Amino acid sequence: MSRQVKNILFVLVDQLRWDYLSCYGHPHLQTPNIDWLAKNGVRFEHAYVQSPVCGPSRASILTGRYMSSHGVMSNTDPMPLNEKLFGEYLRPLGLKTAVVGKTDHRPDLGALARYGIEPESEIGQRIIYRDFDPYDRFIGLHADPVAKPGLQYNDYLNEQGYDGDNPWQHWAQAVVDDDGNVRDGRIWSNSKYPSRIPDQHGESAYVTNRAIDFMEEMGEEPWCLSLGYYKPHWPYVANDPYHNMYPPETHIPVQRADVELEGHLYLRTHHQIRLSKVFSRKNARDEIVTAYMGLVKQMDDHFGRLLTHMRETGLIDNTLIVFTSDHGDNLGDHWCGEKDLPHDCSTRVPLLIYDPSPEADGTRGTTETRFAELIDILPTFIETAGGDVSEHRHLLEGRSLRPLLHGNQEMPWRDYVISEMDFSLREFGRLIGMPLDKPRGFMIRDEQWKYATFEGEEHPMLFDMHNDPHELNDLGDSPEHAAIRADLSAKLFHWLRNLKHRSTVSYDELGWRYGVEFEDNLGILIGWWEDEEGKNF
């Protein structure tokens, strides 16, 4: 079979740090299946998310736009009705565009209600599923307080004999302690125990199976499948034997310094969050990292099954595979749990792209050090599917990575990446004493420096990524770095002024009179001056 891209497999893992894969240098966590992509594709060394939290980051992926452009700033924000999403770009290019597993697009039901659009109507469904067709959609967290009926994974678990309304919570995320008691795996101190159910029925196994089902059902029809592994996101519940595969001696060291405890206002505020406090407790980090690594290993094993299937069916020769994550996980670094802040452990992610076509043969196994942003994924897919990215340049703020995949070294490229932070769903407003929607941050990272500015705090953060790659020495107040801060601040200001605020007119529509005299085509509109000889001015 000739090698030519026909399908797209987009593997979007949740909360996977950039450095917890062996191809990104983890010394003890071997991920040979994911590494296969690095060996046979391009490994992006500097890939950044546009916001280190699920909803906003995924909204940037789905729209190809920065957070300030699409306006989805926290996990509970619905997607504005004017934004054009993934499926709306890719379906017209002939791709069946579907999702299996985790996704995070909240349709704006409030706007539908305002306009009198029934969610179940044809128009309503078209709006709601403008990201993907819902093959086996799963918002990720399915805990009782937020669970909605109809989760296919729950039906599957019921079929396997795991009873109840929400076996996701009461079986898959529940654990068995050393005495054989069932305990709630969502309590982080229970992460050392294995799930009540075996690996073969775990989430990562299930979504992998469903991806294989999808590929088989599609037959010869071209597709773009978004495969969302929810793990290693919390609840940190791994199935046996992954739950205790990685004892502390296999962990990479925590990166934190005492000086950070007296550090930036926003960092100190994050230290007050419950999950940050947990990571400062004895044993907690050890147990959680053990589970986290097990979950990564488990996901890699199942991803390997998928690759095997694709090799056996020949799909490996006509499918572009993109592997990435929506954000990282502090895991105790900087005395924090969760994500949210601009450090690499939160904002930097793995990005691996395997392109089977001969044009990519020259870059197989290479490392790309130029900056990637996850808003580049949608333009990359559009171009891969034969679309014209420039047609959408009034909306798309990312760039197609295809030239990089095909070895173009000369193309002018971006000098920096941007990530935006919103703290409205944390307790920052209350803790800092600001209105709850005010605490926000903007990060810019260029080749050597990372700068971040935060609302309500005049001091920025500044890190020297060459000499302090673990970002422990904040130079935000250092007098000798004033010029560097001013330069990065000016770049951030320039970036913000040039966001694509105009979303309803394409460049071509706007440009219909560009370079021509308007009234030469249309007749008198604005008018002109005519002198006594009848000459126009």
Residues 164-223 that bind its own copies (CB under 8 A): 184, 186-190
Q: Which is nearer to its own copies, 71 or 134 (CB)?
A: 71
How many CB atoms within 10 Å of residue 106? 15
Tokens of 327: 């954000």
Q: Are 200 and 181 in contact (CB under 8 A)?
A: no
Report the residue number, 36 or 335, with the smaller CB distance to its own copies. Answer: 335
Binding-residue pattern over the window 273 to 312 for its own copies, x denoting contact by CB under 8 A:
-xx-xx--x--x----------------------------
State which of residues 32, 126, 155, 448 lies at the interface with its own copies (CB under 8 A).
Answer: 126
For position 78 contacting its own copies by CB under 8 A, the verdict is yes
- Name which of 39 and 430 has its Cβ closer to its own copies: 430
> Of the ranges 159-167, 297-305, 325-333, 420-428, which one interacts with its own copies (CB under 8 A)?
420-428
Is residue 413 part of the contact set for its own copies (CB under 8 A)? no
Interface pick for its own copies out of 113, 115, 217, 468 (rule CB under 8 A): 115
Binding to its own copies, residues 468-487 (CB under 8 A): none
Sheet (strand 42-48) strand order? 133-138, 96-102, 223-229, 7-13, 319-325, 348-354, 42-48, 366-373
Binders of its own copies among residues 227 to 256 (CB under 8 A) are 234-235
Q: Give the residue with the Cβ less far from its own copies, 19 or 477.
A: 477
Any contact of residue 497 with its own copies (CB under 8 A)? Answer: yes
Q: On the CB side of 318, how many CA atoms lie within 13 Å of its CA?
A: 15
Contact status: 382 vs its own copies (CB under 8 A)? no
User: Whose CA is closest to 350, among 378, 322, 380, 310?
Assistant: 322
Ordered alpha helix ranges (H), 103-220: 109-115, 122-128, 152-159, 167, 203-218
Region of 39-47, 81-89, 311-319, 466-474 interacting with its own copies (CB under 8 A): 81-89
Q: Is 340 helix (H, G, I), strand (E, B) or coil?
A: coil
Separation of CA 299 from chain center: 17
Binding of its own copies by 331 (CB under 8 A): no
Quick one: which of 447, 355, 443, 444 has its CA closest to 401?
Answer: 355
As to burial, measured by CB atoms within 10 angstroms (0-12 exposed, 13-18 middle, 19+ buried), residue 211 is buried
Q: Which two tokens stand for residue 362?
A: 């020259």
- Closest of 147, 174, 188 to residue 274, by C-alpha: 188
Nearer to its own copies, 282 or 466 (CB): 282
Considering the complex, what minimum distance in angstroms separates the CB of residue 471 from its own copies? Answer: 22
Q: Which is nearer to its own copies, 108 or 136 (CB)?
A: 108
Number of amino acids touching its own copies (CB under 8 A): 91
Q: Which is nearer to its own copies, 466 or 501 (CB)?
A: 501
Q: Which residue, 404, 299, 361, is CA-closest to 47?
A: 404
